[in-house]
Amino acid sequence: MPPADPARGSRPRPLATYVAQFAEAEGFAHGHFHVVPRTADLPAELRGPRVFGLLRQPEHLLVPDGTRDEIVRALHDRLRPGPPAP
């Protein structure tokens, strides 16, 4: 298992990162990117494109909408050019 990253607390660094981009669904005139860290403990049946099986979990195991929004805003601020947004 990779060493823990002090910036991430005790969580280990991912072994890999899956990036998927979709832009073909009817009614979507923009692309959707999925960035998914792949940790050592991810079961084999959820690796590769099957990682989207993680979306079919009971509601109590999913990341709450508000937390997802915070993650997206932080990622947006990190990836945009220029200084971070206030």
Find where tokens 């099986």 sit: 53
Render pLDDT for 30-73 as a digit per residue (tens, 0 to 9).
888 888 889 888 899 999 999 999 888 898 888 899 998 998 89
Say if residues 34 and 20 touch (Cβ distance below 8 Å).
yes
Tell me how far CA of residue 48 lies from CA of 33, 63, 71, 76, 77, in angstroms: 15, 21, 22, 25, 28
Q: In sequence order, what are the residues at sequence separation of 6 or more whose Cβ sits closer than 8 angstroms to the Cβ of residue 78?
A: 84
**Is residue 6 predicted with pLDDT exceeding 60?**
no
